[in-house]
Structure 1
Amino acid sequence: MNVLMLHGINHNMFGKRDPKQYGTTTLAEIDAALQALGRELDAEVESYQTNSEGAMCERIHQAFEQGKDAVLINAGAWTHYSYGIRDALAILTCPVVELHMSNIHAREEFRHKSVFAEIVKGQICGFGVDSYLLALRAAVSAARQEAS
């Protein structure tokens, strides 16, 4: 089982950026937690972070070519307006799970809408770092169901 975790814009600043919303856990710590859970679930988790929308689309295209079993995405602010990333995600044939550390529905109005919502398997938000772990569990489960 090969899972790709896509971290979006500004996520390299986790641990420093707005600790009230995002806590003090760093991106490296999030990735380590995903790796540990991946081992428990017999899934290899590859993480990728970029602040470039084009690079994110290129990595999604690569995931399609590689035949990833599942994709997790926390696109950050791109969630609310990037039709380019949405279109790239729509190319994927594997389960895609959207996640957010904060509850996007309890924040500013512009954050309430996800342009990805119609094409992803599901969304998980509001559980801090646990959102990543819940998303990994959901994605692995969905990929196994599709494979059987």
Structure 2
Amino acid sequence: MNILLLNGPNLNLLGDREPEIYGADTLADIERGLSEHARAAGAGLDCFQTNHEGEAIDRIHAARGVADALIINPAAWTHTSIALLDALNAFAGRVVEVHLSNVHRRESFRHRSYVSLRADGVIAGLGVYGYRAALDYVLNGAERGTV
């Protein structure tokens, strides 16, 4: 199984940016732990972070026919990007949307997610564990639409 982990804008600042909201773990810490977990399960995990929407879309396009699943923390694009939704709609594998914070307890503009319109599951508010839960979901072969 091949899985793409895609992280959006400002997530390269994890561990430093607003740790009271996003925690103290860095993105490298998260990627390292997830890569080890995937490897132990016999899966490959390709980690990618970008602050540029077009690069994220290109990476989703490149994952078509290659990745079986996509775990995405779209960050601010969650609430703004129809282009990201369109790219996800062209991806045939499972998609799990992850947010470190509980976006539903934050500002009202964060309550709308375009990505959720495509996601098979959404995990929000569990901190770093949300990434692990998403990875376990795809590793365990859960079928699309059964979340």
TM-score (norm 2): 0.93
1:28 alignment partner in structure 2? 28
User: CA contact under 8 A between 1:70 and 1:140: conserved in structure 2?
Assistant: no
The structure 1 segments of at least 4 consecutive aligned residues displaced by more than 4 Å after TM superposition are none
Q: What's the % identity of the aligned pairs?
A: 43
2:31 & 2:8 partners in 1: Cα distance? 13
- SS of 2:122's equivalent in the other structure is strand
Which residues in structure 2 correspond to 1:126-145 (within 5 Å)? Answer: 126-142=125-141, 145=143
1:142 & 1:123 partners in 2: Cα distance? 16
- CA shift at 1:62, angstroms? 0.2
Unaligned ranges ≥5, structure 1: none
Unaligned ranges ≥5, structure 2: none
- SS of 2:3's equivalent in the other structure is strand
1:37 alignment partner in structure 2? 37
Count residues with an aligned counterpart.
Answer: 144
Higher helix share: 1
2:114 alignment partner in structure 1? 115
- SS of 2:6's equivalent in the other structure is strand
Q: CA RMSD in A?
A: 1.2
- CA shift at 1:130, angstroms? 0.4
User: CA contact under 8 A between 2:13 and 2:26: conserved in structure 1?
Assistant: yes
1:18 & 1:2 partners in 2: Cα distance? 32
Q: What letter is aligned with 1:107?
A: R
User: CA contact under 8 A between 1:82 and 1:115: conserved in structure 2?
Assistant: yes
1:92 & 1:125 partners in 2: Cα distance? 22
1:19 & 1:44 partners in 2: Cα distance? 29
2:141 & 2:59 partners in 1: Cα distance? 21
- CA shift at 1:141, angstroms? 2.5
Q: What letter is aligned with 1:92?
A: F
- CA shift at 1:138, angstroms? 1.1
- SS of 1:46's equivalent in the other structure is strand
